[in-house]
């Protein structure tokens, strides 16, 4: 089994400066390599430069610029070039598919936040058996950085990444050969319905609320964004004033916090489900629709401030965004299910909340759902919470739940 662990790093001031420099140098490597590919592509011969070509130049680049490039791990720089290669492969794949993708773009220093070490022990070392009680990870060119290891790491560490998120630093360990930890059988199975009002509802009728992390602190975010919008836009990161950078950092850290809270909630809900049920049926998501985004609505009064586009939410345009969130949730659920030896069954969820779940009926009509929460069958009069009806039907389609008698 494969698993990822994410830990908070506690670098010293000096290490933090080195980490920042590392990101900056990797960013310039990325942009330089992108420039080379652009130039080659713009040339009449339309030469394609491949990962192998660029990787072969690394040695020279490092020798030429030992201060900026030579000090960082070689294989880690290869990983950055491979990331660029991936972006290009995706670009060409979409061109071949007849779509109109955007050409891979340069990354701003503030937007280049991850460096990957493809192999533990090469340019970085995860210290699995610390001498003292403090866990540390060593990065080439940075030193031994303290790790807030809040849980034990199991399996074999394959890949190590460093991430900057809202002014904080994180370590991500990707492990394989993680032993599965099967849970005890419970004799219970369920279908789940993922919704807007409730985050999810089980076929047993249990609702999990949709926490509104953003709404809860929307006022503070608005303040932070207003503060940021007072600064001139479109100023390059390194030319911003200290106050401008601080304002940006406040907004960023705010978003990072909401993201963490949401993930934490996903993990808790998924764990609850996995503990309770041996098999879970869920709606199969429309992956193709996920990449579409609703048009943002800007505030005419304040530059750079976005208003909640409620109209879009009502019209269902935000569905893709919600789907993306559920995609993350289902990914977490799948991981936990695999580890615990539980089964997940995706089903086509069309009309699940419009179809009567009664064995003798099965009438399908949009009018069976007179209100958001209410299901009332026009044919037989069966009445139930609409989300639960959805969950029961999902369960029926997976063969887990019996129709209502
Ligand atoms: Zn009915």
Neighbours of 4 (CB within 10 A): 12
The yes-or-no verdict on residue 316 having pLDDT over 80 is no
Q: Which of 206, 188, 202 is nearest to 342 (CA)?
A: 188
Q: Which residues pair with 159 in a beta bridge?
A: 174
- How many residues are recorded in the chain? 405
The yes-or-no verdict on residue 315 having pLDDT over 50 is no
The β-bridge relationship of strands 374-376 and 383-385 is antiparallel
Tell me: the pLDDT tens digits for 342-366? Answer: 999 999 989 999 999 999 999 999 9
Tell me: the pLDDT tens digits for 251-260? Answer: 888 888 888 8
Q: Rg (Cα) of the chain, in Å, rounded? A: 25
The yes-or-no verdict on residue 293 having pLDDT over 50 is no
Q: Residue 291's pLDDT is what?
A: 43
What whole-number distance in Å separates Cα of residue 39 and Cα of residue 29? 15
The domain spans of the chain are: 3-176, 189-211+261-398
Mean residue pLDDT across the chain: 87
What whole-number distance in Å separates Cα of residue 19 and Cα of residue 70? 15
- Location of structure tokens 């950092």: 249
User: From the centroid of its chain, how far is CA 107?
Assistant: 19
Q: How confident is the model at residue 110 (pLDDT cuts 50, 70, 90)?
A: confident
Separation of CA 315 and ligand 1 centre (Å): 28
Separation of CA 380 and ligand 1 centre (Å): 4
| Stretch 41-68: mean pLDDT | 89
Separation of CA 394 and ligand 1 centre (Å): 16
The yes-or-no verdict on residue 339 having pLDDT over 50 is yes
Q: How confident is the model at residue 318 (pLDDT cuts 50, 70, 90)?
A: low
What whole-number distance in Å separates Cα of residue 111 and Cα of residue 90? 20
The yes-or-no verdict on residue 289 having pLDDT over 80 is no
Residue 200 · residue 194 · CB < 8 Å: yes
Q: Which of 155, 200, 119 is nearest to 390 (CA)?
A: 200
Burial class (CB in 10 A: 0-12, 13-18, 19+), 223: middle
What whole-number distance in Å separates Cα of residue 194 and Cα of residue 330? 10
Separation of CA 203 and ligand 1 centre (Å): 17
Q: How confident is the model at residue 290 (pLDDT cuts 50, 70, 90)?
A: very low
Task: Report residue 328 as tokens.
Answer: 């993350």
- Range from 166-180, 186-200, 230-244 carrying the lowest mean pLDDT: 230-244
CA atoms within 13 A on the CB side of 274: 25
Separation of CA 358 and ligand 1 centre (Å): 6
Separation of CA 351 and ligand 1 centre (Å): 14
Q: Which residues pair with 344 in a beta bridge?
A: 280
| Stretch 14-34: mean pLDDT | 96
Burial class (CB in 10 A: 0-12, 13-18, 19+), 114: middle
Higher-pLDDT residue of 294, 382: 382
* Secondary structure of 4-24 in HEC code, one letter for each residue: EEEEEEECCHHHHHHHHHHHH
What whole-number distance in Å separates Cα of residue 318 and Cα of residue 312? 6
What whole-number distance in Å separates Cα of residue 120 and Cα of residue 171? 12
The yes-or-no verdict on residue 274 having pLDDT over 90 is yes
Separation of CA 273 and ligand 1 centre (Å): 29
Residue 199 · residue 269 · CB < 8 Å: yes
Residue 202 · residue 74 · CB < 8 Å: no
Separation of CA 283 and ligand 1 centre (Å): 22
Q: Which of 51, 74, 54, 75 is nearest to 62 (CA)?
A: 74
Give the strand order in the sheet containing 114-117.
114-117, 156-165, 168-176, 3-10, 143-148, 135-139, 124-126
Strand spans (E) along 325-392: 343-347, 374-376, 383-385
* Residues with a beta carbon under 5 angstroms from ion ligand 1: 356, 358, 361, 363, 377, 379-380, 382
Residue 101 · residue 291 · CB < 8 Å: no
What whole-number distance in Å separates Cα of residue 111 and Cα of residue 104? 14
What angle, 0 to 180 degrees and rounded to 10, lies between the N-to-C axes of helices 242-276 and 218-229?
150
Q: Residue 247's pLDDT is what?
A: 92
What angle, 0 to 180 degrees and rounded to 10, lies between the N-to-C axes of helices 74-96 and 13-42?
40
Query: Per-residue DSSP letters for 27-54?
Result: HHHHHHHHHHHHHHHHSTT-PPP-HHHH
- CA angle, 164 as apex, 158 and 169 as ends, to 5°? 75
Residue 149 · residue 9 · CB < 8 Å: no
What whole-number distance in Å separates Cα of residue 129 and Cα of residue 152? 11
Q: How confident is the model at residue 234 (pLDDT cuts 50, 70, 90)?
A: confident
Separation of CA 402 and ligand 1 centre (Å): 15
Separation of CA 399 and ligand 1 centre (Å): 19
Separation of CA 204 and ligand 1 centre (Å): 19
Residue 343 · residue 337 · CB < 8 Å: yes
Residue 333 · residue 270 · CB < 8 Å: yes
Separation of CA 364 and ligand 1 centre (Å): 8
Tell me: the pLDDT tens digits for 119-151? Answer: 988 999 998 666 667 889 999 999 999 999 988
Separation of CA 185 and ligand 1 centre (Å): 33
């Amino acid at each position: 089994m494969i698993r990822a662990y994410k830990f908070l790093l506690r670098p010293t001031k000096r290490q933090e400066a080195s980490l920042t420099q590392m990101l900056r140098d990797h960013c310039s490597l990325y942009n330089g390599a992108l420039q080379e590919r652009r130039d080659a592509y713009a040339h009449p011969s339309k030469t394609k430069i491949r990962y192998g070509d660029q990787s072969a130049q690394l040695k020279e680049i490092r020798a030429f610029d030992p201060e900026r490039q030579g000090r960082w791990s070689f294989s880690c720089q290869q990983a950055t070039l491979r990331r660029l290669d991936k972006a290009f492969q995706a670009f060409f794949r979409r061109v071949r598919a007849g779509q109109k993708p955007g050409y891979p773009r340069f990354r701003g220093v503030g937007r280049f936040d991850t460096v990957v070490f493809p192999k533990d022990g090469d340019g970085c070392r995860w210290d699995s058996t610390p001498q003292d009680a403090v866990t540390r990870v060593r990065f080439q060119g940075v030193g031994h950085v303290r790790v807030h290891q809040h849980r034990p790491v199991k399996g074999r560490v394959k890949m190590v990444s460093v991430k900057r998120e809202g002014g904080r630093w994180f370590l991500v360990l990707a492990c394989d050969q993680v032993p599965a930890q099967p849970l005890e059988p419970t004799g219970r199975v369920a279908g789940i319905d993922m919704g807007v009002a409730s985050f999810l509802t089980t076929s047993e009728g249990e609702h999990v609320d949709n926490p509104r992390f953003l709404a809860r602190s929307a006022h503070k975010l608005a303040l932070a964004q207003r503060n940021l919008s007072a600064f001139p836009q479109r100023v390059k990161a390194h030319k911003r004033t200290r106050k401008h950078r601080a304002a940006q950092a406040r907004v960023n850290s705010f978003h990072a916090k909401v993201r963490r809270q949401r993930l934490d909630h996903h993990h808790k809900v998924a764990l609850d489900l996995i503990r309770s049920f041996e098999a879970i049926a869920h709606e199969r998501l429309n992956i193709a629709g996920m990449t579409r985004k609703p048009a943002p609505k800007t505030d005419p009064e304040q530059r750079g401030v976005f208003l909640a586009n409620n109209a879009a939410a009502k019209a269902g345009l935000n569905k893709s965004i919600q789907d993306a969130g559920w995609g993350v949730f289902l990914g977490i659920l799948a991981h936990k299910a695999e580890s615990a030896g539980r089964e997940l069954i995706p089903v086509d969820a069309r009309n699940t909340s419009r179809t009567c779940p009664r064995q003798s009926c099965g009438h399908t009509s949009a009018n069976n759902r007179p209100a958001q929460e209410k299901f009332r069958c026009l044919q037989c009069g069966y009445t139930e919470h609409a989300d639960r009806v959805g969950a029961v039907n999902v369960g029926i389609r997976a063969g887990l739940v019996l129709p209502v008698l």
